[in-house]
Amino acid sequence: MQLTQEWDKTFPKSSKVDHEKVTFTNRYGITLAADLYLPKDRSAPLAAIAISGPFGAVKEQSSGLYAQTMAERGFVTLAFDPSYTGESGGEPRNVASPDINTEDFSAAVDYLGLLSYVNRERIGIIGICGFGGMALNATAIDKRVKAVVASTMYDMTRVMSKGYNDSVTLEQRTQMLEQLGQQRWQDAEDGSPAYGPVSLELQGGEPQFVVEYAAYYKSKERGFHPRAINSNASWSVTNPLSFMNMPILTYIAEISPRPVLIIHGEKAHSRYFSETAYEAAAEPKELMIVPDATHTDLYDQLDKIPFDKIESFFESNLN
């Protein structure tokens, strides 16, 4: 595994933290690449946070920004590339799995808990966008996680199986599965998976939220990164298959009595994901709606991401 060593993030390097590239292996034997951010002062065992997302992004983008910022505030943080993406291992490339990507969070907890300067009883996780849903799922199943934040959350199993606002009919779902089955025959004949067109190459007439995605992922001043699927590549055509009948938030109430903080933008097209997840979760839980914020504002807009709230949430609950 060849990891870049130069600073290639989409945000400036902070002088307040130490940074290093690290690797760890998940339960399926896939080696994950990550950026470890450390407070300069770490004399005592510290609380730690594992961070990933958005779906189709890399650790050099939003998750790294969250990680570096939380490290500035005194936490050991780990921003990782999910399996099969970015600098992490796994073949074929650019595929996702609700199971394996949930496991990726637990593997990050494994790694953090073995660090001598981390108190393994004080580990939380943050999931952004599609990895907000993965983070909630991971917390439900992994009782070592003491608190969880989901920011601008998508439930990828819900949107892939039911479409936006649950608009897909049974007939449409059946047709989609028929097409995916036919694509499997083609992939089997070819000996490799087919991939769609490059993500977010706008042709005109796209919905506003797609325009906002492109404004983040395609802008070299903002979020473009050559290793990000959403910036520079595409998912495999059959990628939706494992998401179609594995609703990952089924057991969200079992996070309780550990606390949940769900953050979403007031103007985000995806706000309903967070609202229904909040309803399904058990106490203690909190839903924070950020005024005037869109979905992608919570990727990188420092005046919109409520870092003070996230800091106080983890300081109160990782104790």
Strand (E) positions, 88-247? 118-128, 147-151
Per-residue confidence band for 43, with pLDDT thresholds at 50, 70 and 90:
confident
On the 0-12 / 13-18 / 19+ scale of CB atoms within 10 A, 120 is middle
Q: What pLDDT, on a 0 to 100 scale, did the predictor assign at position 45?
A: 93
User: Does the pLDDT value for residue 1 go beyond 90?
Assistant: no
User: Does the pLDDT value for residue 226 go beyond 90?
Assistant: yes
Q: Is 50 helix (H, G, I), strand (E, B) or coil?
A: strand
Which residues 6+ apart lie within 8 Å of 210 measured at CB?
Answer: 200, 202
164/166 Cα distance (integer angstroms): 5
Please, what sign has the CA dihedral across residues 283, 259, 313, 66?
negative
Predicted TM-score (pTM) of the model is: 0.98
- Among 153, 131, 28, smallest CA distance to 82 is for 131
Q: Is 123 helix (H, G, I), strand (E, B) or coil?
A: strand
Per-residue pLDDT reduced to its tens digit, 128-185: 999 999 999 999 999 999 999 999 999 999 999 999 999 999 999 999 999 999 999 9
Residue 189 gets which letter from DSSP?
H
**CA–CA–CA angle 268, 66, 225 (5° rounding):** 80
Q: What pLDDT, on a 0 to 100 scale, did the predictor assign at position 41?
A: 83
